[in-house]
Amino acid sequence: PKAAANQEYKAALDKWKADSQAAQSAFKAAMADYLAKAKANAAARKSANDAFKSALEAARTTYKSAIAAATTAEAKTAAENARKAAVAAATAARDAAIKAIAALPAKPAKPAELPKPAKPTA
């Protein structure tokens, strides 16, 4: 009976090890997938924000040169309106780009530790 109990314990222990390793490797794969998606998401956000910043910088430069060249109130108003329109267009483009980025899935949960089989006492 003791040999049979030890055999059962060894089989249960092997199954426990295999199940634990399978759960851990599934978690690692899910985590790697999640991290890749998070990295892509961050890169897309950075790209959208960089494009927005460069559009704002271009609008500011254009506005400065237009104001410097403007001699009338109408020309200054037109330059200000053009700057506001450029900022609004850049903001809309950035918002659309950020909306187009796929939402991140929920972060994978670490697998619960399986209870280790008890050693036979008899």
pLDDT tens per residue across span 43-96? 999 999 999 999 999 999 999 999 999 999 999 999 999 999 999 999 999 999
- Half-sphere exposure at residue 47, Cβ-oriented, CA atoms within 13 angstroms: 11
Distance in angstroms (rounded) separating the CA atoms of residues 23 and 1: 33
Which one is predicted more confidently, 57 or 5? 57
What number of residues does the chain have? 122
| Cα 74 from Cα 58, distance rounded (Å) | 22
Q: Is residue 86 part of a domain?
A: yes
Residue 29 in any domain: the answer is yes
pLDDT at 1 over 80: no
The count of domains in the chain is: 1
* Gap between the Cα atoms of 75 and 20, Å rounded: 73
Please choose, from the candidates 109, 98, 93, 107, the residue with its C-alpha nearest in 3D space to the C-alpha of residue 41.
98
Per-residue pLDDT tens digits for 25-34:
999 999 999 9
- Note if the pTM is more than 0.75: no
Parent domain of 45: 2-100
The model's confidence at residue 97, banded by pLDDT at 50, 70 and 90, is very high
121 found inside a domain = no
Q: Model confidence at 119, in pLDDT bands (50, 70, 90)?
A: confident
**Quick check: is 108 in a domain?**
no
Classify residue 7: in a domain, yes or no: yes
State residue 89's pLDDT score. Answer: 97
| pLDDT bucket at 3, cuts 50 / 70 / 90 | confident
Query: Both ends of the chain: CA-CA distance in Å?
Result: 8
The answer to the question of residue 94 being in a domain is yes
CA–CA distances in Å: residue 118 to residues 5, 8, 9, 12, 122 = 11, 11, 8, 9, 12
